[in-house]
């Protein structure tokens, strides 16, 4: 019985490479040959029927058609091709010359000797003179004949060999036609094609060599390191991949990948790649000026939490205020901000408590807590006058002028009021002054609308990613303790703390953020491309400000994958917690906000990206032939305004979902259109990219925001 070999192309290919010595056949007749292969779980049986009478095989001279084929290929590709003197006599001879096959032959010899020791019968093939293939038997074709061009362009050598071996070894039938008879007068279609394989492989080798030389002349060699699957897109454009440990032109291990056969051929070419695509950042000094590279240097000013903290310290309209806790000045500014936030939270509570019955009801949560003295309101006025406003009114100014607040008592009263649900005695007495102060604060603090009064902050290590060690905290003492206890873990000991958006726009009472891609192709003039397709990441739990667990407040996929979705959440929410921006637009239409996507969200995102890049423009080192893709994370407030959270260099595209997989593939393809196709045709299709803005060549770079207020100073 025969043994079926299915879906084992790699194993069969390895077997072919290791069996080059099989061309030395003997005349001994063997009714059945057992081939021991370590890669197969059971032996493969190959029956060879040998006729009693051996017929002499004709010796064929060099054919005219072969020379014509080579000349036509040379003419088609616009170059001369020198054919090698020694032509392969069989497919095994050709395969044996490929890189790595000699080592595999030695390994095969060792394997066979070991098998003999173990009592396994060694392989012996019937000895027979090697047949010289008549090239004139192959129908001649004029290049560029479509059939031959299609065969050469789509040839997959591994699949061909696997097909023939599977056909020969299949046990599904015992038909003698399926048994390879090397002495038969009449060849089956399979046998004919099998005997023609050496010529097909030789043609494939010559054709690829010509393709490679043409790609070198046209500077279409590219080098990838964890390429995120751009190789297919490049090959469709006639580019050939250089495979080596480095992109140096003289790299000794250089091989070139034949995209049609899947073979890596080591040819004697010393060539530098015209495109370098890597997940690493390389210094400009090791890259030549005409080489394209997906990297810029000195981008830490906007791709790190600390960089944004420093760069966007005045961007109060789109970047939640942020402080560096590793610096003494930063710690002092954060403490002041916490006190200010507590002050206007108290004032806002007084206004709401003494307004409409509905608002008053919202401010009362726990009547069992002891009431708080009205002095808490006066201390809040004191803090507001210190940091934000010049005056409350004459009467109150006199009361608080000589007041020396006890800050511990002040914070305890704040926590009791806002977090525990306590009351303030006779708060109505100061209702009107509180309204006046609140109006002044709102005019100077554009971020007041993102706060509920709970004073929640999000603490982040400046040097880590993927949500590691990020927590939400609403007590200043807990923040100090956490930083001190974790400083031993990080050598840099650098932490940033950012105001949490307490009033986000929610989807079915669930928090989400948006990953927005953009491409920078130049820094001077600044050229930014906005990608129209993006996705949103949702939390696995319903939104709740009284529970600060990461499963509720961090939408990072690396964090959310650790939690199971809440069983009681809305059934319309996706199981994988990912939506496309088109699904978000459908949700906006359902809630009656069909215009906010085009009128508020998208224009706001574009403006934020451009202004952030404009601030960073003079800090990033410009390079003419560089480009890079970035992933910006946004949240939206209750009024749909976008807020920038962070910007990621080398955004992760390694874990696609049903939604993100399509976006990842399309953005890489469209990036190639912008950086490659657009060089030849400025009006070519650029997919989902849209040019945000391009500065005039040689124009002045002005670093300012047109509508950003300056942070108020102390009075």
Could you report the per-residue pLDDT of 88-142, keeping only the tens digit for each?
Answer: 333 233 333 444 444 544 544 554 455 444 443 433 444 433 333 333 333 333 3
- pLDDT attached to residue 401: 82
Could you report the per-residue pLDDT of 656-679, keeping only the tens digit for each?
Answer: 888 999 999 999 999 999 999 999
pTM over 0.85: no
- pLDDT attached to residue 491: 47
Helix 407-418 vs helix 375-387: crossing angle, to nearest 10: 110
Mean pLDDT of 241-268: 81
DSSP labels for 616-682? Answer: HTTTSBP-TTB-EEEEEEEEEBTT--EEEEEEEES---SS--TTHHHHHHHHHHHHHIIIIIHHH-T
DSSP labels for 567-623? Answer: TTS-TTS-TTSEEEHHHHHHHHHHTT-TTHIIIIIHHHHHHHHHHHHHHHTTTSBP-
The pLDDT of residue 612 is above 50: yes
Question: Can you tell me whether residue 51 is helix, strand or coil?
Answer: coil
- pLDDT attached to residue 462: 75
- pLDDT attached to residue 206: 80
Residue 521 dihedral angles phi and psi, to the nearest 5°:
-110, -5
Residues 559 and 467 sit within 8 Å (Cβ to Cβ): yes
pLDDT band at 40 (very low <50, low <70, confident <90, very high): very low
The pLDDT of residue 16 is above 80: no
Structural domains in the chain, CATH included, are 9-204 (no CATH), 218-280 (no CATH), 324-450 (no CATH), 505-694 (3.30.470.20)
């Amino acid at each position: 019985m025969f043994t079926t070999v299915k879906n084992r192309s790699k194993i069969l290919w390895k077997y072919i490479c290791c069996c080059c010595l099989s061309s030395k056949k003997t005349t001994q007749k063997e009714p059945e040959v057992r081939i021991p292969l370590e890669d197969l779980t059971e032996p493969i049986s190959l029956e060879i029927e040998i006729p009693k009478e051996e017929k002499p095989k004709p010796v064929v001279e060099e054919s005219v058609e072969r020379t014509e084929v080579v000349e036509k290929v040379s003419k088609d590709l616009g170059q001369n091709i020198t054919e090698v003197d020694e032509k392969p006599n069989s497919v095994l001879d050709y395969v044996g010359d490929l890189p790595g096959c000699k080592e595999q032959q030695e390994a095969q010899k060792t394997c066979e000797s070991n098998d003999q020791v173990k009592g396994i019968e060694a392989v012996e093939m019937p000895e027979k003179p090697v047949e010289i293939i008549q090239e004139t038997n192959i129908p001649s074709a004029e290049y560029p004949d479509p059939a031959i061009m299609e065969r050469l362009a789509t040839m997959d050598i591994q699949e061909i060999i696997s097909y023939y071996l599977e056909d020969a070894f299949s046990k599904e039938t015992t038909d003698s036609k399926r048994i390879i008879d090397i002495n038969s007068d009449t060849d089956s279609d399979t046998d004919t094609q099998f005997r023609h394989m050496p010529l097909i492989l030789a043609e494939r080798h010559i054709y690829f060599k010509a393709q490679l030389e043409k790609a070198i002349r046209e500077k279409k060699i590219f080098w990838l390191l964890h390429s995120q699957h751009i190789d297919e897109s490049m090959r469709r454009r006639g580019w050939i991949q250089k495979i080596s440990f480095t992109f140096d032109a003289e790299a000794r291990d250089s091989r070139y990948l034949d995209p049609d056969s899947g073979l890596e051929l080591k040819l004697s070419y010393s060539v530098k790649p015209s495109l370098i695509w890597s997940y690493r950042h390389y210094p400009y000094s090791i890259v030549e000026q005409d080489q394209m590279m997906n990297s810029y240097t000195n981008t830490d000013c906007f791709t790190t939490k600390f960089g944004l903290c420093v760069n966007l310290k005045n961007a109060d309209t789109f970047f939640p205020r942020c402080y560096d806790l590793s610096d003494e000045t930063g710690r002092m500014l954060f403490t002041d901000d916490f006190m200010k936030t507590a002050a206007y939270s108290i004032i806002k509570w007084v206004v709401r408590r003494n307004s409409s019955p509905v608002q008053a009801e919202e401010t009362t949560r726990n009547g069992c807590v002891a009431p708080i003295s009205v002095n808490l309101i006066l201390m809040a006025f004191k803090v507001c006058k210190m940091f934000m406003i010049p005056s409350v009114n004459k009467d109150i100014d006199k009361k608080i002028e000589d007041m020396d607040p006890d800050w511990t008592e002040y914070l305890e009263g704040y926590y009791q009021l806002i977090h525990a649900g306590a009351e303030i005695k006779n708060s109505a007495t100061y209702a009107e002054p509180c309204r006046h102060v609140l109006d002044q604060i709102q005019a100077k603090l554009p971020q007041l609308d993102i706060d509920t009064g709970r004073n929640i902050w999000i603490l982040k290590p400046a040097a880590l990613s993927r949500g590691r060690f990020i927590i939400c905290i609403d007590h200043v003492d807990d923040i100090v303790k956490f930083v001190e206890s974790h400083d031993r873990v990080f050598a840099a000991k650098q932490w940033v703390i950012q105001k949490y958006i307490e009033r986000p726009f929610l989807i079915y009472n669930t928090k989400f953020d948006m990953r927005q891609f953009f491409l920078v192709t130049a820094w001077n003039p600044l050229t930014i491309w906005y990608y129209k397709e993006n996705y949103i990441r949702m939390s696995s739990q319903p939104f709740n400000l009284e529970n600060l667990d990461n499963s509720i407040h961090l939408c990072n996929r690396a964090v959310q994958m650790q939690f199971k979705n809440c069983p009681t959440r809305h059934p319309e929410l996706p199981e994988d917690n990912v939506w496309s921006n088109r699904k978000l637009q459908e949700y906006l239409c359902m809630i009656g906000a069909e215009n906010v996507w085009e009128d508020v969200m998208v224009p706001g995102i574009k403006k934020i990206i451009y202004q952030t890049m404009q601030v960073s423009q003079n800090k990033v080192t410009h390079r003419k032939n560089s480009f890079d893709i970035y992933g910006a994370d946004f949240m939206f407030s209750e009024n749909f305004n976008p807020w920038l959270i962070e910007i990621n260099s080398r955004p992760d595209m390694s874990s696609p979902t049903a939604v993100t997989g399509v976006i990842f593939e399309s953005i890489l393809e469209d990036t190639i259109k912008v950086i490659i196709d657009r060089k030849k045709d400025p009006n070519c299709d650029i997919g989902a990219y849209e040019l945000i803005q391009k500065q005039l060549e040689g124009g002045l770079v002005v670093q300012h925001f047109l509508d950003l207020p300056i942070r108020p100073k102390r009075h």
